Chains A and B, each alone.
Chain A
């Protein structure tokens, strides 16, 4: 297990430290760096990022959380709110609703009045009434009242200027249509207009494009000696399901083997068993990052990652330009 952190009973160590890094070299990096996509769908992806310094992997993760832009409701004009939920709480809840609008098609809003290039306008107008057709002995609010639950699907988009030529309601509205915003009773009414703008997570968490963006190091497990019989079953129970397998050994006894170390939780439960702890060596690969990105729905996770690399690239370019101007 070279190039790994070794997890022992009372310490974690690795033979190599930052100091013995080889000089940075693009040609060398092109040979060692690898990316492999393991899982992908519209909202979630998992991929392996191999051969980079943790600082680089962490930069991408941090940028995903706080510097890749999305659209979110920023201003709420409240014309009427007679519901039980207070104005400011309602405004906050509306802000946190993820929107489908593609942030790449919008500009950051400047100081002046919002335009069709940088703002989306929405409206939520709803009034709760009694349901006259309800059975007289019913106690179910859903039957007794109409519009007693306000959901994100009740939010209507009001296109500004020529926005309706560029996009459809289905492309800009809330990602999910069953987000509960408020509960009403007959006579309660909500009438608000909302302005959504482009922003970044650094400013407010509602702009963060990811639910989570995390990485972990690839676990490594090695069996140093043969583990057989009852011990093999016990060893299996010390790790996450699917990590340790059991097969029939040549002597007819059950024998443990490492099936797939990737999804181990690295709990090190095995160290509680004195007879087993010397049979395994556990570690984590130092430069093998298992990246997981979970999108809130505005952009697909692959576009989010590419976006985060773009942000870091732009930082470098802007600073290089500034340095050049300083020098000349």
Chain B
């Protein structure tokens, strides 16, 4: 399957631990996602690796003490999505704040 796959041989360990393989992803998404998932209280382990620099693949391992690993991954992705939305909102506000601030300054300089 393109996109995400699960590592073979992981099925025996129950659905609380999984290694997900992301195609066409690297450190950019790996580290960002890990930084969010590791902070969940019900996650006991989360780590990522790019096994070989010439292969554009990223492995993300999640181990939990309760919920299914897939659900945790889903929560991580949607939290990262929310974070991005909020960043855009903040950035747009900061830009318009900057524009009114510099306009005020130039008006004061000219008068």
Contacts and interface: CB of A to CB of B under 8 A. Distances in A.
Contact of B83 (A29, A302, A317, A327): A29
A60 to B, nearest CB: 8
Dominant SS among interface residues on chain A: helix
Contacts of A40: 95, 98, 102
Contacts of B97: 37
B25 to A, nearest CB: 7
Given A306-B88, A306-B92, A309-B87, A24 B98 contact: no
B74 A55 contact: no
A320 B77 contact: yes
A55 B81 contact: no
Given A34-B90, A312-B32, A316-B80, A24 B39 contact: yes
B54 to A, nearest CB: 14
B7 interface: no
B-side interface size class: 35 or more
Interface string A292-321: 000000000010011001101101111110
Contacts of B102: 40
A58 B31 contact: yes
A309 B88 CA distance: 7
Contacts of A22: 39
Contacts, number: 111
A327 B25 CA distance: 21
A313 B84 contact: yes
B85 A18 contact: no
A254 to B, nearest CB: 33
Interface string A17-33: 01001111010011001
Given A37-B98, A312-B80, A320-B81, A24 B36 contact: yes
B53 interface: no
Interface of A: 18, 21-24, 26, 29-30, 33-37, 40, 47, 52-56, 58-60, 62-63, 67, 302, 305-306, 309-310, 312-313, 315-320, 322-323, 326-327
